[in-house]
Amino acid sequence: MDIDKTDARILDCLQEDASMSLNDIADLVSSSRSAVWRRIQKMESEGIIKKQTILLDAPKVGLGVMVFAHIKMQAQNRDSLPEFIERVSNFPEVMECHTLMGDIDFILKVQVRDVQAYEEFFWNHLSKIDGVREISSSIALTAVKNTTSLPVLHHIS
């Protein structure tokens, strides 16, 4: 599906506030309510819109520590990669897991209550996964920028 400027503007509205009414979106993109609804339905069916959700303030719900864990796997044990991915995907503390090119194989974004909770997660879960050779962890001090919004409109010609 090709995304035009109207689709991109609709997506910007939804990324800003997924609870925005169809009427409000239609007004902002200068379109009709029914046309906006059809476009949203099409973008959902095409998988462009994956889901609608809410964002929580992590410290306010008791999860005040964000850790980035850099994982190096054992080179000779590449068969353990699917197991690693499955295990990490099932840890509720892991917010994101990305494979990387270069010296590090994976980077995890982990959200926990405090440093002690991360230490427990590290020793009781992360370090026990087969094939993990090295874990280097960095605690985030301040989120300078933290967004889930993609700059769709900026890439439409």
The answer on pLDDT for 78 being more than 90 is no
pLDDT for 155 equals 82
46, 27 in Cβ contact below 8 A? no
Domains of the chain, each with CATH number or no CATH: 5-54 (1.10.10.10), 59-139 (3.30.70.920)
Q: Which secondary-structure segment (H or E) carries 15?
A: helix 5-16
Instruction: Quote the DSSP letter at residue 77.
Output: G
- Residue 77, judged by CB atoms within 10 A of its CB (0-12, 13-18, 19+), counts as middle
Task: List pLDDT tens digits, range 37-63.
Answer: 999 999 999 999 999 999 999 999 999
Cα dihedral 64, 68, 73, 78, rounded to 10, equals 90
Give the mean pLDDT of the chain: 94
pLDDT for 58 equals 95
pLDDT greater at residue 25 or residue 155: 25
The answer on pLDDT for 16 being more than 90 is yes
Q: How distant is the alpha carbon of residue 80 from its chain centre? A: 24
- Reported as a pLDDT band with limits 50, 70 and 90, residue 80 is confident
pTM over 0.85: yes
pLDDT for 76 equals 66
